[in-house]
Amino acid sequence: DTEVTQTPKHLVMGMTNKKSLKCEQHMGHRAMYWYKQKAKKPPELMFVYSYEKLSINESVPSRFSPECPNSSLLNLHLHALQPEDSALYLCASSRGPGQGASRSTDTQYFGPGTRLTVL
């Protein structure tokens, strides 16, 4: 299995709702990522998990809460979102996060994304 999967494909939520995005990979990858992508823009990194521990939080508002229950799963919990949070949310994984200046970054593979609309 060489795929990253994400559910749901589409999500519409109100500003008072609580919802979760899910991501799964079975490639044995130990690094997983959440990105946000607005139309006509590159993916923007939100969080990085390395060996199931949060290693990077790119100053993301607390209404986004990541969780990594095990090495194959990554969740993004959403609460009290704003309309400007509407975007494509992409999950990605890689074999490892890179370990030191002498090691090159491992290839990242993206999931199909969740198209989120906040009303």
Partner 1 sequence: GENVEQHPSTLSVQEGDSAVIKCTYSDSASNYFPWYKQELGKRPQLIIDIRSNVGEKKDQRIAVTLNKTAKHFSLHITETQPEDSAVYFCAGSSGNTPLVFGKGTRLSVIA
Q: Which of 1, 2, 16, 40 binds partner 1 (CB under 8 A)?
A: 40
- For residue 61, the SS3 value is coil
CA 70/CA 24 separation, integer angstroms: 10
Q: Which stretch binds partner 1 (CB under 8 A): 16-24, 63-71, 72-80, 97-105?
A: 97-105
Decide: is 53 part of the binding site for partner 1 (CB under 8 A).
no
**CB of residue 59 to partner 1, shortest distance in Å:** 13
Number of residues that bind partner 1 (CB under 8 A): 24
Is 101 near partner 1 (CB under 8 A)? yes
Phi-psi region of 3 (alpha: psi -120 to 50; beta: other; left: phi over 0): beta
C-alpha count within 13 angstroms, C-beta hemisphere, residue 60: 22
